[in-house]
Structure 1
């Protein structure tokens, strides 16, 4: 392992000792500020706890244009169902597996903690004369993953540079020059309950029906892979199972699935009342349904698992925002028949997946939707849908479809603040310099791409019209999932590329 890679990973492991789920970056923000001041750098922060660390130019670069190195502090906190990890307090354990670094049953936060580590290592290297660079500003933002609110909250003039290097891309050797815009919609379906006697007709049991083992993944980066959506598959199964066992023999009590807006839901669960006499029939049907799904998703989700299990008590454990919450289901009631029909209808009716491919860039997903989260509350079911598009009028179109489906189901849809797309500029002087720096370092041209994921460049560019931007980073696989991992040799390549690029500004 290259010594610089080792240094970067040591910093990254220190970062991973600090809790930093989205909207909970306070401790990391303070730690970064202290890190900067302890090294003699000017540090400032703003109302939302974004951090800026100003690193003076090395000798000979004092008159070079200022460069902003930018990444975000927060991470998507996902874990396997059997993990006992508590993201609010437990350090993330880094596991080295050959050329890969991964978590121990959790997402590892390489998206985007590795950007922080690279920027900090670069600042330290310049300070001791290991590399040359222009004036630098390390811009570390909060809450990127749940709506880019850190970038949105940046004050005018918070940073001075007009060249921005965003280190939040996930395929080394690619330069990202544009991204999609996004919009989240919250659908609220009122719940009507009706009394229910579990002892009638020979006895009903309370059962948990779950779907697990799905690949999930980033809803922008991997939406084109057509991976299974746990929420929609469970809704589909419930409709079929009700037809098999009889509408009156299966009554819903609870539905939950997904965890964050930008991850394809890799699990879902429902609690239902079912006659114990129907259990074997239901299990046989579910087994056959699982085989059907395994055939349908043989390439994308080969480990799909369905399970029906009676619940001895009424206690369930629901994961939300990286935390596990204990709930006790109320006894002697179920969803009304109308609520069941409306809920399953809206879950099956909402769009999910690729909606439209780009007309101008072959293979690029232009517009998509992610049916991301479902939660049952006392008087309502809350559903989160996340739309993306690189064409803002098409973003409005698919958001309108979400609202229409909600209205048809008797639900209401409320739309959160969206974020703008970043339109590519293929004539950018920064892009030219980046291509040259990469070619000089590795003897080949980098790939130039526009991505369907949302990047902070879109928001920052909308605030600073004269800024030039580009995004790149080391190779990260399966971000936003417990399988997230970073390819260690790619870190060294990013370092050499950055070193070449910064040197070119003399």
Structure 2
């Protein structure tokens, strides 16, 4: 293992001891600030907790242009259903598995903690005289994963560089020079409740209908891989059960699924009440659906599970209301028949997946939608839909379709502020230099691409007119899910490339 790879991984493990789920970056922000000040670097932070560490040029590079290395502090906090990990306080365990580094049933936060680690090691190497480099700015932003609010809140004067290296791409040997824009939509369906009396002669029993074991993944990177969406499968199962058993024999109590807007839902569950004399038929329907789902998604989601499990009332009360029921209470609240019908039709009608491929760049997804989350809380059910596109026209088009479906179901919809696409420049001087350095060092041509995922470069480019940007990074597989892992040898290649790229700016 290259000595710098070892050092980068050591710093990365230190970073992973600090909670940094999106919107909870205060601790990692303070840690980064203290790291910089303790080494004599100029450090500043803004009101959002974005951090800038200024690293002076090494000898001979004083007249070189300032280069900004940029990454984000937050991570998508995903874990397996049976994991006891608490992201708010527990260090993320790093598991070395051959050439790969992964978490222990959790996402590992290589997206984008590895950028922080590379930047810090680079700064120390220059300070110790191990490498030469121009003036550097280490720009670390917050909340990239749930709205890019850190980048959106940057003031133009917060950093100075006109050359930006974004370290948030996940394929070594690939230079990204463009990305999609996006917009999230929050759909709210009002809930009418009914009391279900368990003292009836033909009484009901309570069950959990569960979809789990799906691959999930980043809703930009993996949206074209035809992976199953847990919310969609659960909705199909509920619709089939209602059709086969009759709506009077199945009552929906609550439904939850997905985790964050930019991850394909890998799990979803519904709590339902079934009449006792319909249980055998319900189990048969679930068994048939399970086989059908597993056959349809055998290649993309080989661990797919659909199950129907009998549960006690206390589980529903704890999930829905955070308390145990009064033992003598003979009833439970369920969705009214009208609400249930609207909800299932809404979930079945909302689009998910690739909407349109690019006409200009072969193989690039131009426009897509992710049916991301559904939650039951109080007197409403909330659904998050996340649209992406490299075309502002198509982004408005797919968002309009989501809005139309929501309104047809009688739901209210609000659209969060979106973020712009990053328009590619295939002729930029920075890209030409990056390609020349990479080819000289590794003896092969790098790949240049535009991606469907969102990057902060689109926002940063709108703030700093004339800035040149390229995004790259080590190889990361399955970001935004518990199987996230980073290919260790690729870290060495990124380091060697960076070292040579920075040295090429000597004036």
TM range (shorter): over 0.9
Q: CA deviation at 1:313?
A: 2.9
Q: For residues 275 and 51 of structure 1, what CA distance do their matches in structure 2 show? A: 58
For the Cα contact (< 8 Å) 1:230–1:265, is it kept in 2?
yes
Structure 1 counterpart of 2:280: 280
Cα distance in 1 for partners of 2:318, 2:418 equals 28
Q: What do residues 223-261 of structure 1 show as CA deviations (whole Å, max 9, x unaligned)?
A: 000110000110011000111112111110000000000
Q: Deviations over 1:354-413 (max 9, x none)?
A: 000000000100000000010001111000000000001110111111110000000011
Question: What does residue 92 of structure 1 align with?
Answer: 92
In the aligned structure 2, how far is the partner of 1:327 from the partner of 1:239? 29
**In the alignment, does 2:424 pair up with 1:424?**
yes
Runs (5+) with no aligned partner, structure 1: none
**Aligned: 1:242 with 2:242:** yes
CA distance in 2, matches of 1:317, 1:394: 43
Q: Distance in 1 between matches of 2:60 and 2:322?
A: 60
Moved more, 421-430 or 284-293: 284-293
- TM-score under structure 2 normalisation? 0.97
Aligned to 1:102: 102
The question of 1:351 aligning with 2:351 is answered: yes
Q: Which residue of 2 aligns with 1:311?
A: 311
SS of the residue aligned with 1:444?
A: coil
Normalising by the residue count of structure 1, what TM-score does the alignment of the two structures yield? 0.97
Describe the SS at the equivalent of 1:260: coil
Match of 1:218? 218
Q: Offset at 1:114? A: 0.1
| Structure 2 residue aligned with 1:397 | 397
Partners of 2:318 and 2:324 within 8 A in 1: no
CA–CA distance in 1 between the matches of 2:147 and 2:114?
Answer: 20
Partner of 1:47: 47
Structure 2 SS opposite 1:264: coil
Task: Indicate the SS of the match to 1:314.
Answer: helix
**2:204·2:273 contact (CA, 8 Å) conserved in 1?**
yes
Q: Is the 8 A contact 1:315 1:327 kept in 2?
A: no
Q: Judge conservation of contact 1:235–1:344 (CA < 8 Å) in 2.
A: yes
The alpha-carbon deviation at position 51 of structure 1 amounts to 0.2
Distance 2:11 2:123 in 1: 12
Residue pair 1:100, 1:486 contacting (<8 A) in 2 also:
yes
CA distance in 2 between counterparts of 1:119 and 1:113 reads 10
8 Å contact 1:169–1:474 — kept in the other structure? yes
Find the aligned partners of 1:141 and 1:418 in 2 and give their Cα distance: 17
Give the aligned partner of residue 379 of structure 1. 379
Distance 1:68 1:403 in 2: 39
Name the SS of the counterpart of 2:473 in structure 1.
coil
1:318 and 1:120 mapped to 2: Cα distance?
44
TM-aligned CA distance change 1:318 to 1:349, over 3 Å: farther
1:310 Cα offset (Å): 1.3
Per the TM alignment, residue 2 of structure 1 is displaced from its structure 2 partner at its CA by 1.1
Contact residue 271 and residue 316 of structure 2 kept, 8 A:
no
- Quote the offset at 1:316 in angstroms: 4.4
Task: Look up the SS of the partner of 2:169 in the other structure.
Answer: coil
Q: Report the alpha carbon displacement of residue 214 of structure 1 after superposing the two structures with TM.
A: 0.3
How many Å separate the matches in 2 of 1:402 and 1:213? Answer: 27
TM-superposed CA distance for 1:275, in Å, is: 1.3
Q: Distance in 2 between matches of 1:216 and 1:389?
A: 20
Matched with 1:449 is 449
Separation in structure 1 between the aligned mates of residue 346 and residue 314 of structure 2, nearest angstrom: 27
- Residue 24 of structure 1 corresponds to 24
Residues 169-207 of structure 1, C-alpha deviations (whole Å, 9 max, x = no match):
001110000000000000000001112112324221111
1:253-268 matches, cutoff 5 A: 253-268=253-268
Aligned to 1:384, the other structure's residue is in SS state strand
Q: Kindly state the Cα deviation for residue 280 of structure 1 after the two structures are TM-superposed.
A: 2.2
Superposition pairs of residues 477-488 of structure 1, within 5 angstroms = 477-488=477-488
Q: Please tell me whether the aligned partners of residues 68 and 137 of structure 1 are also in contact (alpha carbons under 8 angstroms).
A: yes
| Structure 2 alignment gaps of length 5 or more | none
For 1:31, what is the secondary structure of its paired residue?
A: helix
Aligned equivalents of 2:318, 2:371: Cα separation in 1:
18
8 A contact 1:316–1:327 mirrored in 2: no
Report if the CA contact (8 A) 1:83-1:105 is conserved. yes
Q: Which residue of 2 aligns with 1:302?
A: 302
In the TM superposition, residue 332 of structure 1 has moved relative to its aligned partner by 2.4
Answer yes or no: is the 8 Å Cα contact 1:198–1:273 preserved in 2: no
- 2:278 & 2:310 partners in 1: Cα distance? 12
Aligned residue in 1 for 2:68: 68
Residue correspondences, number? 502
Which whole-Å deviations, capped at 9, do the CAs of 1:58-101 have from their partners, x for residues lacking one? Answer: 10000000000000000000000000000000000000000000
Q: Give the drift of 1:307.
A: 1.1
> Where do 4+ consecutive residues of structure 1 move more than 3 Å?
316-319, 324-331
| Cα shift at 1:315 | 2.4
In the alignment, the residues of structure 2 paired with residue 268 and residue 211 of structure 1 have an alpha-carbon distance, to the nearest angstrom, of 5
- Structure 2 CA distance for aligned equivalents of residues 251 and 437 of structure 1: 63
What SS does the corresponding residue of 2:313 show, helix, strand or coil? Answer: coil
Q: Distance in 2 between matches of 1:122 and 1:327?
A: 51
Q: Per the alignment, in what secondary structure is the counterpart of residue 367 of structure 1?
A: strand
RMSD of aligned Cα (Å): 1.4
